Amino acid sequence: MYLTFRWFGDSDPVKLWQIKQIPGMKGIVSAVYDVPVGEEWPYETIVALKEKVEAAGLELSVIESVPVHEHIKLGLPSRDRYIENYGKTIRNLARAGIDIVCYNFMPVFDWTRSKLDYELEDGSTALIYEEEVVQRMNPLTGELQLPGWDSSYRKEDLQLLFDQYAQVDEEKLWDNLAYFIRAIMPIAEEVGVKMAIHPDDPPWPIFGLPRIITDEKALARFLALYDSPSNGLCVCTGSLGAKPTNDMAAIVRRFGREGRINFMHCRNIRFSGERSFEESAHLSSAGSIDMAEVVRALRDVDYDGPVRPDHGRMIWGETGKPGYGLYDRALGAVYLNGMWEALTKERERR
């Protein structure tokens, strides 16, 4: 296991030199943010990002993410052009020496929350998901501005997408995912890139749109689409863990032993109701996920890939991008690293 940290480029209030000072921190998780979805990422742009990270004494460990165009998810005839561009981007990333790519297959909306700044008992603020609030939301009004929502969509664009997705149920979405995977994975294998699909967040349908990467059974079905180390998982404890029936340590042990976990997101949440949760500090005692057991499972399967403290509260008066403050994620990184060191030394003494 080695620690990584999400960085959103020059516009990020968190600076690379600050990340470098977190004990045990090695890598950066970032992306190219100014290329339209579906277009090829230029090699020179990737190299410029990598050089900027390396100049700060860190490595560009993971690209998160190369977005999948909606036409691919919808299975439209134009998908082949976008898949071709996706393959070119993978080749460019490999040429630049980057070998892990995280992505998701969530229709229209990425991770979704109902409130950005819910105040917790200690006075910090966190992202929360309230099912009853989300159920009342109308994504077609154009008035919602929440994390995970692509604000570039116009109202008429969203209406068209919803009309198109009316013809796509879960099985059709599986078919479209399989088409994408079977086209992309041979390229990833050829150039030595490990792909890591991020689970749906939350792991259930929202606004009538299907979501399929939701639990252990779905993860196994996904991996069976293409049996290769290049076709792997990003196991996100906060996303999958939002479904109480998902045993996160068991999931890590199963797919870790199979060598199919290519990236880890460690985030804790606290259940606040049926299909409702608050994001919390990373400690096991702070949330509903036994983070200590998750890290022990990673140690047990000899996981040697990147881990990032995923999301965090806004603490000590910090302002900026909700969920992506420096302080709480830094605390989470040190917490994770401390547990890893203790487990490693425990093993060495046996």
Please give the pLDDT value at position 341.
96
145 — pLDDT class (breaks 50, 70, 90): low
- For the stretch 274-287, pLDDT in tens is 899 999 999 999 99
Is 324 annotated as catalytic? yes
Q: Is the pLDDT of residue 64 over 60?
A: yes
Is 311 annotated as catalytic? yes
Of the residues 103, 311, 328, 335, only one is catalytic, namely 311
Of the residues 265, 266, 290, 328, only one is catalytic, namely 265
Q: Closest Cα to residue 189, out of 305, 101, 290, 67?
A: 101
**Tokens 């080749």 belong to which residue?**
91
157 — pLDDT class (breaks 50, 70, 90): confident
Distance CA 213, CA 234 (A): 11
Please give the pLDDT value at position 349.
86
pTM above 0.85, yes or no: yes
List C-alpha distances in Å: 29 to 9, 26, 310.
10, 10, 11
Is 122 annotated as catalytic? no
* Domain map (residue ranges) of the chain: 2-349
Of the residues 153, 198, 282, 328, only one is catalytic, namely 198
- For the stretch 107-136, pLDDT in tens is 998 888 989 899 999 999 999 999 999 888
Please give the pLDDT value at position 330.
98
Please give the pLDDT value at position 146.
57
Is 327 annotated as catalytic? no
Task: Please give the residue that has the higher pLDDT: either 11 or 145.
Answer: 11
206 — pLDDT class (breaks 50, 70, 90): very high
Of the residues 118, 129, 303, 324, only one is catalytic, namely 324
Is 12 annotated as catalytic? no
Q: Is the pLDDT of residue 149 over 70?
A: no
Instruction: Report strand pairing: 306-309 vs 261-266.
Output: parallel
Of the residues 215, 310, 328, 335, only one is catalytic, namely 310
Of the residues 69, 71, 129, 236, only one is catalytic, namely 236
Instruction: Decide if domain 2-349 falls under CATH 3.40.190.150.
Output: no
Is 310 annotated as catalytic? yes
